[in-house]
Amino acid sequence: MTSSPTLIFKRPDAMSENVTHYCPGCTHGVIHRLVAESLDELGLRDRAVGVAPVGCSVLIYNYFNVDFLEAPHGRAPALATGFKRVRPDMIVFTYQGDGDLASIGMGEIVHAANRGEKFTTIFVNNAIYGMTGGQMAPTTMPNQRTTTSPAGRDVNKAGFPIRMSEMLSTLKTPSYIARVGVFTPMHIINAKKAIKKAFRLQMEGKCFSMVEVLSTCPTNWGINPIESTKWVKTDMEPYFPLGVFSDPERGDD
């Protein structure tokens, strides 16, 4: 007896067939997929507009079947604000690295969150500037070596890594803000739940939503992919704890 084959796994409709340019072991690709699956499952692909950052994921639009805008470095939240204000019926999201969002684009993200703009931000924190070759980011860990902090980040001169999720959740304006990881399958499942919820809240017109994802950069960290996922767990997670920092459904302010 033959039964017809059951489809159990496929490329999300929101993803294109292009092969990504990401380095082996980089988790940008995993995060892309979680965004695409969320758009598919909520039926949002054909009314979504993404805003690409400047950083390793600048070419994100090549990997999606979704309309995309390419922002100047750090300005994605301003572009998203402009688009969403004139087309409130559409679903708008930004995808940004830590240099993009927490350094040059700090002003734009804080004010977009504070105005309660109804878009979603996927914030990829890999503790380094990937695209430009591994310079220090505002999220670089204390004593972490980078090409502009070869002796390790000196917190006396460069300050401590900025915890964006905690900082944005101090704003009184309602928002959904969560930090997730993608360094084990269980974490990936939880990350997906948070991303999907962020989009659902936007769909319902509720609030600004941001999911910070702890990500890897084996190339610029100078360690292999397996050690990289371990490093996220041992070195990043204690400083950047996972969790939900603000949730309108929890009655948070």
Partner 1 sequence: MAKRLMKGNEAIGEAAIAAGAPNYFAYPITPQSEVAEYLCWRLPEVDGVFVQAESEVAVGNMLFGASASGKRVFTTSSSPGISLMQETISYMAGAHLPVVFVNIMRGGPGLGGILPAQSDYFQATKGGGHGDYRIIVLAPSSVQEAVDMMLWAFDLAEKYLTPVMLIGDGMIGQMMESVEFPDKYREENNPDEIEWALTGAKGRKARICKSLFLNPEQLEENSFLLAEKYKKIKKAERRCELYNVKDDNKIIITSYGTMARICQTAIDELEGEGVSVGLFRPITLFPYPEEELYAEGSKKNIKCVLSVEMSTGQMVEDVERIMKGKKKIDFFGRTGGVVPSPDEVKDKVRKILRIKK
Ligand X SMILES: Cc1ncc(C[n+]2csc(CCOP(=O)(O)OP(=O)(O)O)c2C)c(N)n1
Rule CB under 6 A: which residues touch ligand X?
Answer: 54-57, 73, 97-100, 124, 126, 128-132, 137
Residues 26-55 that bind partner 1 (CB under 8 A): 45-49, 51-52
122: contact with partner 1 by CB under 8 A: no
Q: How many CB atoms lie within 10 A of CB 216?
A: 30
Helix (H) or strand (E) holding 207, with range, is: none
58: contact with partner 1 by CB under 8 A: yes
Residue 46 tokens read as: 């054909």
121: contact with partner 1 by CB under 8 A: no
Size of the residue set binding partner 1 (CB under 8 A): 35
- Strands, E assignment, the chain: 48-52, 67-70, 91-97, 120-125, 175-181, 208-214, 243-246
Residue 231 tokens read as: 């490093």
CB 190 within 8 A of CB 103: no
CA-CA distance, 136 to 148, in Å (whole number)? 6
237: contact with partner 1 by CB under 8 A: no
Select from ligand X, ligand SF4, partner 1, none the partner in contact with residue 26, using the beta carbon and a kind-dependent cut-off of 5 to 8 Å.
ligand SF4
In the complex, minimum distance from the CB of residue 136 to ligand SF4, in angstroms, rounded to a whole number: 14
CA-CA distance, 50 to 54, in Å (whole number)? 13
Interface segment toward partner 1; rule CB under 8 A; list 27-35, 70-78, 150-158, 165-173: 70-78
The one-character DSSP state at 171 is S
Q: Which residues bind partner 1 (CB under 8 A)?
A: 16, 45-49, 51-52, 58, 61, 64-72, 75, 78-87, 90, 107-108, 110-111
Could you list the residues that contact ligand SF4 (CB under 6 A)?
A: 22-23, 26, 28, 56, 126, 130, 217-220
